[in-house]
Structure 1
Amino acid sequence: MRRFIHALLSLSLGLMTWASVAQPLSAYLPTDVDYDPSVPTPQSVLGYEVGEWHVRHDQLVRYMEVLAAHSDRIGIEYTGRTHQQRPLLLLTVTAPENHDNIEQLRQQHIAVSDPTSKADTKSAPLVLYMGYSIHGDEPSGSNAALLYGYYLAAAQGEKIEQLLRDTIILFDPSLNPDGLSRFAEWANQHKSMNLVSDPQHREHVQGIPRGRVNHYWFDLNRDWLLLQHPESRARIANFQKWKPNVLTDFHEMGTDSTFFFQPGIPSRRNPNTPEENVTLTAKLADYHAAKLDQEGRLYFTEQAFDDFYVGKGSTYPDVQGAIGILFEQASSRGHAQDSINGLLEFPFTIENQFMTSLTTMYGAHENKERFLDYQQRFYRTALEQAKKADFKGYVFGDGTDPARLQGMLDILQQHGIQAHPLTADVTIDKVTYRAANSYYVPLAQPQYTLIRAIFNSDQNFRDNTFYDVSGWTLPMAFNVPFAQFDGRSIKYAEQAYQAAPVVSTSALPADAYAYAFSWHGYFAPRALQQLLSAGIHVRQADQPFSARTTNGEQSFDMGAVVVTRAYQQHDWADVQQQLSAIAAENQLTVHAITTGLTPTGIDLGSRDLRPVEPISVMMLVGNDADMYEAGEAWYYLDRHVGVPVSLVDTDRFNRIDLNRYSHIILVDGSYRSLGNSGANRLQQWVNQGGVVIGQKGGARWLAENDILAAKFVANDAFDAKFDTSTLSFADRDSYYGQRRVAGAIFGLDLDLSHPLLAGFPRANLPIFKDSLLAMEIPEQPFLVAARYQQQPLLSGYAAVENREVLSQKAAIVGHRKGQGRVIAFTDDVNFRAYFWGTAKLLSNAIFMAPAVSPSANADEDAADAEAAAAEAAHAH
């Protein structure tokens, strides 16, 4: 009996301990309104109080569905699904009577942003977009959304009811469902009954991948402009549908900080953002400050963060007549954590986000006419600025690849930007843009300000310190030529680009000797991979050639893919049918070759038309590898090429069977955990025929371990360019801002005869650069595929001193090592998945590697060349 009583007492104490970490709902809620008792509380649905546990996305969705079912203020829609198939949710919250004519109200509001409309701003509704936790491991936002949702449904009184009559609230409780769920599981599974606040406790130190990112390890708060993920596309579709006046973006920062809200550092806003935007942001800041002052809580506003990159949630609205507001709450990164300010508990972080949700909402409502008037004037002023600009618009086009061009057009369309097909050729700066594949974006349209931001290629800035990237020029990312048009007339179609063209499958000629398609298409690697996966025998050209086809003589460059009747294991008619479908899916033109004897170049039986072997790709990931770059490479190979990628943690490398893989990728990272044994294993694997691909830090690690025959530019070369003898303490930020390349676009000079550049249309290529990494030109010839241009900067910021060092240095190197190949990139070729112009470098490193024949050993390379020449002479 005594043992039984002790057990009951222990259980009781345990329950009390769990309960002690919870804060009741009443502790969060303001008392200046009443609450409808019929509205379910979060606790009644979830089984725990807000902040007691981290809410999972499925629980969050369930509670929002319950609220929508119980409140006639709330409409709910599912706008899409994440990569992991979690629903993307949007609640529309307004007065019940507004739901009856919601489309009419939307049109009334949209008219405010039409510069040709005479819309009455006094009668138009205010529209707020309240979005939470785009970084999944910054969960106080989405957990505060539980409270905000309850408040919107249950709060009663003239204050809230008048607001709802005047306002339409677009409420997105989780901007990153996959990341939020990942982090909720992490935090909850490591929670102790007695909370552990030790920062070194496992609850506060996530494994890779962290909850910050989505399924493919992308930071979705960098994707508002780029739109490479379903979460972003759904969000922007609703933004453009409604044109909100205010958008909130709730985040977390370091545990030792306090609370931040905008405006941020004044000198770091995007130059396309009007000064009045900052004024209105500061106006709302007064409401946040007043509430936090009342609660005695610390905060700051103009000492950190920036509003420069328009692809972030707090900046994207600023160039479209709205006010984007970044909130940053010190993070408990779990349920409780020690900080320099004392114990930081999860409920406290949630409460700050909830309070500022309300201050945003009420502050905006009190200034409703001012926000609507600003939005109207923003678009009218934009149209006036467009008419006064010293050029009329942008022309862009590329006849070498419809897929890259369409990828760029799709982004413009989703942002509400009109791009009109040219109906006559136009020549600008000696470049002719053909009507068949070029477009014109006139400045004189409502999205003028966003257009300027997207096409911007500035290189000079009033502040050289950037929180994120300084250059993101969209056509450069897609390697699409573009220019400003300042002529008097240009001929273009009245109907702007609307959607991707419908591609139909057409039968190929049945009696062909072989079929071939060019390697220029962005999706050519995917087509090749699909053919290999179907068990179709495929060959790839290491030399250019021309061929006689049913459409006359056609030229094929290096990299062309040829499907011969010879060596097929499948019925030839089935091969034709599959190839036809694959070509249509990948926007490729297939030519039917009538004979193996070619007019020029290699014949179809040449050894330089080599069989393509099935590939097996592994990539090292984990604590030693950059999570973002690994995710980008994974995403590209998986989604754009169709290659399954084995992800292997670096601490397992020395225990796995390397013979399973044909290619191994090392993205940026340190790779210290591999040690000498790992380097030796990799070197042996390469010598036996493997292909290793290093990017940035991965390439440098290969060089340091004598696997890559290249020398990286020493830091001393950059140090010597900067004189620090006269600097004062106040120069510190500016100095370190100059020392780094904070995300700019550089230009490469390409050796188009090199196999690694197969399929690239021009001898110059924009590439994203965010480091000082570069390679010295090797003494051994034929190893360098690309080098930085003499004047390398194309867009963004890079100090002159850094540019001078990087000029003409090697950026892409490849060579044979034993029976294998080593390929190195000094930059991120898949940056944020939107750099389609350079992404195919990774496919070339995989599929064209066998053609990289020069050895890093000069004597060996010379001997091989002599042997090949002798063999050719003997055969002749």
Structure 2
Amino acid sequence: MKQWCTKHWRAGLISAAVVLATSTAPALAQTDNTPAGYSGGTNIEALTLDYYMPSTLNVTFDERIPTPREVLGYEVGQWHVRHDQLVRYFEILAEHSDRITLEETGRTHEQRPLIIAKVSAAQNNDRLEEMREAHMAVSDPSQNVNAAEAPLVLYLGYSVHGDESSGSNAALILGYYLAAAQGPEIEEWLANTVILLDPSLNPDGLARFAQWANQYKSMTANTDGQHREHIQDWLRGRQNHYWFDLNRDWLLLQHPESQARIRTYQQWLPNVLTDHHEMGTDATFFFQPGIPSRKNPLTPDENVELTGLIAEYHGEILDEVSSLYYTEESFDDFYYGKGSSYPDAQGTIGILFEQASSRGHMQDSVNGLVSFPFTIKNQFLTSLSSIRGSHENRAALLTYQQRFFKENMELARAERFDGYLLRESQDGARMQELLRILKAHRIDAYAVTESFRVNSETYNPGEAYFVPITQRNYRLLKGAFSTQQEFPDNTFYDVSAWTLPMAFNVQFEEVRRSRRFNLSDTPWAGAEPFSGNTLEDTRVGYIFSWEPYFAPRLLAQLQAQNIHTRLAATEITVSTPSQGEVKFPRGSVIVTRAYQSKPWSEVQAQLQMLADNNEIPVTTIARGLTPTTGMDIGSRSIEPAQMAKVMIVIGDGVNLQESGEAWYYLDRHVNIPVSLVETDRLTRVDLSRYTHILMVDGWYSGLNEAVRNRLSQWVRQGGTLIGQKRGAQWMTENNLLNAKVVSSEVLREPFPTEGLTYADRDHFYGQQRLAGAIFGTTVDLSHPLMVGYSRADLPVFKNSTMAFENNTAPFVDVARYAEQPVLAGFTSQGNRDTLSQKTAIVAHRLGRGRVIGFADNVNFRAFFWGTSKLLSNAIFWSPYIAASAGEEDEAEAAAAEQEAHSH
């Protein structure tokens, strides 16, 4: 057995303190900031595992369990662990320890394994499933079990932001401790407890940051905050492969990392979940509870009380090593899509930890040196205090969880409505994705089985679903469908609305079951298998509608196979062999037998396969002559679809997440190859290769006149420039987009400063901020950008006050905010009044090209499927934008139009 020597451990601290006192290195505010064995305060080569171990735990260690150093070849904290090394160490722990069972739960976008280490006493190894079932019975309101005797379940999760890596490195030490430590307390911890240890919530980001920090590491630590080691490039380690913040995806479930994590969470419903992060270098250490008034109103007050109870244990263990910390001052627990808030909606105590970051191996701060080992130590110690605090309060945690779900049912029965009725008649894909997310969160929905009418609306089978409010996950459901607009505390760290049906542009309303309608007896379990297309023989071709969400992807896939496709700009009625006359809305796609460069049988086979894969119905056209007045199949108004070649501007100044969201949508949902070009290369790249260029939100003030001139020339020669938020604003400032952004002076008008005191400062600025709400817009359905949309009311996500003044030129404004714009979330009355009926989308011709401006992020966090299709429309349907915003442009556009149709 290895015995941790408290005397040696304390002596190490004393000797380190002596060295620091006589060194020329900067003095430390806390002696424990620097590990034992440091030379001159900056050499971490003498670091040993002793440094991390608390003196209050009287344990020995099983010598059969390899230490991290024995596997990695270095001590934890000397280098940033790579994800492959992290996984390998846990594999070795599972091989050597009868306490650990390792499970791969999924794979990241970059195919890194997502792992969970299930830790419990050796005698529980063969009964983990039995323990899980006994624990889950606590949360089942229909069962009346003795909660206090049930197994306790903890979920310890680390580094969802990959460059906040002290958490994942601490997981190495925690894994070793849980596998090797021997003593009365840990044996008692594990006897009737299962610990789910998730060492890396974001493997792709962690790997990216480990490579960055390690490649700039010197033998002699450089503590200068301006040193390259501490300043990442534009693409940081925080995000995942597609540059998303995975700590915003717990509810939305658009990424494999989140989907795997929530499967595990829902299988176990832990009593406590820890979420280990980092913050600015000049801070200390934060743990919850945070500001009490900033929790979600649906979260019980008892949740905060229990969080505070466990916080006592964090304070105690950090006081032991003289580590400074704070609580109840920062952050919030409002948005149910974050790691520390999602659990609060389900009877779990979610706890956020934020450690001042070394962002490398050692860095100067206002408090002295912040070393990487020190940051790891705090994360490890509070992991132990989380386990200890949970164990010593197990009865309170388990009975709280049982009571939570029973209260859920009681609160649901007291509601003035019975559930939500969902309806989407045009596009099954958006509805199915919404239902998939609900099912993943154990929220049941039931299919409508017979048609019925309510308020002049018809609800048909296959288009309508009912989500009862009385179910176990009532609070999470209520939060996901909330349209609340006023809150006790209107200061938000993140967003104030995330209403899922609005994001998917699915109609929904609260209803009573007294409106009698028939439902399926069983909850929705997944989409019905697509029946497949039957492509009949034809001399003319086939047609499909643009209304399905994945119609753009089908078109892009057909183009990739060199299949000739044509776009019908107006509605068309076609003759079919077996269905008679069928009317298609504007924007349909036609695959004609004419102009194909490959055998027709091959075209038919590929069209059927791709259409079936995308679950899009395809109709056979029997005759080229349409049966009614209007276009025939060979009409000049049905033009060949252009192959899109898209560039997204990225790099310094550009919003990393918004560019990633656009890349993700075009890559995953549309299957268009996307070229990512940095701002500093815009003067050199060959712009003629691209048909469309997208500028998302960002600071573009660094772009020089040469870039502006190149983009202007490119557009006038036929390109389409798309701007989003401040990307669109840059276009207006450089005379590319003929629109006027609502000025800062106009935005400030509703907020007078007279009579204010300094105490009013936070409220004054908070009222002017728009921290993520859902706005209603009224769209022009006849505009080319709105092809495939059937309702004039479109919800958009708005997290800035950016808007356009109404354009004096006709046919340029595509969408305007509603008179009463806010649908969900907090927006001050001043901002409501200012943004009411302002323009949200602008589009017009410029020379031979087009320019399009979006005031909002149409791809917000990848779950706003209701607006993301606007980007596809801006790509495939931009050639049909004919309106011009000025006389000069009108004349130039008319000349181009005449030339195009002169022969």
Decide: shared fold, TM above 0.5: yes
Q: Counterparts of 2:707 and 2:812 in 1: how far apart (Å)?
A: 25
Please give the secondary structure, in 2, of the residue aligned with 1:760: coil
Partner of 1:174 in structure 2? 200
Query: Pick from 709, 724, 735: which aligns with 1:706?
Result: 735
Q: Is contact 2:152–2:194 with CA below 8 Å preserved after alignment?
A: yes
Is contact 2:422–2:508 with CA below 8 Å preserved after alignment? yes
2:677 matches 1:648: yes
2:148 partner SS: coil
Q: Give, as a single letter, the amino acid of the residue that structure 1 aligns with 2:586.
A: M
CA distance in structure 1 between the aligned counterparts of 2:769 and 2:573, rounded to whole angstroms = 47
CA 1:660/1:189 → structure 2, altered by over 3 Å: closer, same or farther?
same
Distance in 2 (alpha carbons) for counterparts of 1:807 and 1:548: 45
User: Counterpart of 2:555 in structure 1: which amino acid?
Assistant: L
How many positions carry a matched residue from both structures?
862
- 1:334 deviation in Å? 0.5
Larger displacement relative to structure 2 (531-540 or 848-857): 848-857
1:133 aligns with 2:162: no
Match of 2:248 in 1: 222
1:449 matched to 2:475? yes
Q: CA-atom RMSD, angstroms? A: 1.9
Match of 1:4 in 2: none
Cα deviations by residue, 1:426-459 (Å, 9 ceiling, x for unpaired): 5455433323311111111111111101001101
**Aligned equivalent of 2:49:** 25
**Alpha-carbon distance, 1:604 to partner:** 1.5
Mapped contact 1:620–1:647 kept (Cα < 8 A): yes
Mapping of residues 247-258 of structure 1, within 5 Å: 247-258=273-284
Partners of 1:552 and 1:420 in 2: how far apart? 34
Counterpart of 2:10 in structure 1 is none
Deviation at 1:807, TM superposition (A): 1.1
Which of 503, 507, 522 matches 1:481? 507
Match of 2:550 in 1: 523
Q: For residues 666-716 of structure 1, what are the alpha-carbon distances to aligned partners after superposition, in whole Å with 9 as ceiling and x for unaligned? A: 000122232111000000011111111110111010111111111111111
TM-score (normalised: structure 2):
0.93
Aligned residue identity for 1:554: V
Residue in structure 2 matched with residue 773 of structure 1 by the alignment = 802
> What are the superposed Cα offsets for residues 462-500 of structure 1, whole Å, 9 maximum, x if unpaired?
111100000100000000000001242442111111123
Q: Distance in 2 between matches of 1:801 and 1:315?
A: 29
* Cα separation, 1, equivalents of 2:137 and 2:458: 38
Alpha-carbon contact 2:665-2:859 (below 8 Å) kept: yes
Determine the structure 2 residue equivalent to 1:463: 489
- How far apart, in 2, do the equivalents of 1:596 and 1:728 lie? 74
Q: What does residue 694 of structure 1 align with? A: 723
Seen in structure 2, the aligned counterparts of structure 1 residues 796 and 16 have a Cα distance that, compared at 3 Å, is closer
Deviations 1:770-807 (A, max 9, x none): 01111111111011111111111001011111111111
SS in 1 for 2:856: coil
Structure 2 residue 614 is the aligned partner of structure 1 residue 590: no
Secondary structure class of the residue paired with 1:395: strand
What's the counterpart of residue 776 of structure 2?
A: 747
Deviation at 1:547, TM superposition (A): 1.2
- Counterpart CA distance in 2 for 1:626 and 1:600 is 49
Partner of 1:72: 98
Which residue matches 2:596?
568
Q: 1:16, 1:781 → 2: CA distance?
A: 72
1:161 to 181, 184, 187: 187
Pick aligned residue for 1:41 from 67, 89, 92: 67
Opposite residue 594 of structure 1, the aligned amino acid is A
**Separation in structure 2 between the aligned mates of residue 865 and residue 623 of structure 1, nearest angstrom:** 38
> What residue in structure 2 maps to residue 501 of structure 1?
528
Q: Where does residue 6 of structure 1 map in the other structure?
A: none
| 1:314-349 Cα deviation digits (max 9, x unpaired) | 000001011000000000000011101011101110
Cα distance in structure 2, aligned partners of 1:774 and 1:867: 31
Match of 1:194 among 220, 245, 250: 220
SS class of match (2:672): coil
Distance 1:605 1:648, change over 3 A: same
- AA at the equivalent of 1:448: Y
1:676 and 2:700 equivalent?
Answer: no
Deviations 1:100-141 (A, max 9, x none): 111111111000000010122132100000100000000000
Matching of residue 418 in structure 1 with residue 460 in structure 2: no
Aligned: 1:283 with 2:312: no
Q: Is the 8 A contact 1:17 1:193 kept in 2?
A: no
Q: State the identity %.
A: 55
8 A Cα contact 2:732 2:740, kept in partner:
yes
- How far apart in 2 are the matches of 1:16 and 1:457? 58
Kindly provide the CA deviation profile for residues 726-758 of structure 1, in whole angstroms up to 9, marking residues without a partner as x.
222122111111101101100110100000000
Give the 3 Å change call, closer, same or farther, for CA 86–428 of structure 1 in structure 2. Answer: same
Aligned to 2:292: 266
Give 2:547's aligned amino acid.
H
Task: Give the 3-state SS of the residue equivalent to 2:683 in structure 1.
Answer: helix
- Contact 1:545 1:600 (8 Å CA) reproduced: no
1:409 matched to 2:435? The reply is yes
> In the aligned structure 2, how far is the partner of 1:392 from the partner of 1:493?
16
Equivalent residue letter for 1:196: N
Which residue type is aligned with residue 391 of structure 1? F
Residue 26 (structure 2) aligns with: none
Residue 861 of structure 1 deviates from its aligned partner by: 3.0
Q: CA deviation at 1:634?
A: 0.2
The aligned counterpart of 2:849 is 820
Q: 2: CA distance between counterparts of 1:727 and 1:596?
A: 72
Structure 1 residue 296 displacement after superposition: 1.4
Distance 1:574 1:371 in 2: 63
Q: Is the 8 A contact 1:321 1:378 kept in 2?
A: yes
In structure 1, stretches of 5+ residues that fail to align are 1-12
What residue is the counterpart of 1:795 in the other structure? 824
Alpha-carbon distance in structure 2 between the residues aligned to 1:24 and 1:532:
60
Q: Distance in 2 between matches of 1:244 and 1:395?
A: 31
Residue matched to 2:571 = 544
- TM-superposed CA distance for 1:583, in Å, is 1.1
**1:808-863 alpha-carbon deviations (Å, 9 max, x no partner):** 11111111111111111010000000000000000000000000011222365379
Letter in 2 for 1:798: T
Closer, same or farther: CA 37–734 of 1 in aligned 2, 3 Å: same
1:741, 1:22 → 2: CA distance? Answer: 50
| Structure 1 partner of 2:18 | none
Structure 1 pair 244–426 and aligned structure 2 pair: CA distance change class (3 A): farther
Residues 116 and 14 (structure 1), Cα distance of their counterparts in 2 relative to 1, 3 Å cut: closer
Residues 237, 564 of structure 1: CA spacing in aligned structure 2 closer, same or farther, 3 A cutoff?
same
Distance 1:143 1:23 in 2: 14
Go from structure 1 to structure 2 and tell me whether the alpha carbon gap of 1:380 and 1:600 turns closer, same or farther (over 3 Å shift). farther
Query: Contact 2:482 / 2:499 at 8 angstroms: preserved in 1?
Result: yes
Query: 2:646 matched to 1:617?
Result: yes
Secondary structure of the equivalent of 1:232? helix
Q: CA deviation at 1:585?
A: 1.3
Are the aligned partners of 1:596 and 1:604 in contact in 2 as well (CA < 8 Å)? yes
**What is residue 19 of structure 2 aligned with on the other side?**
none
Summarize deviations over 1:356-376 as a string: whole Å, max 9, x none. 000000110011111000000
Q: Which amino acid aligns with 2:522?
A: Q
Distance 1:717 1:251 in 2: 39
**1:864, CA displacement in angstroms?**
6.2
Query: 1:661 and 2:690 equivalent?
Result: yes
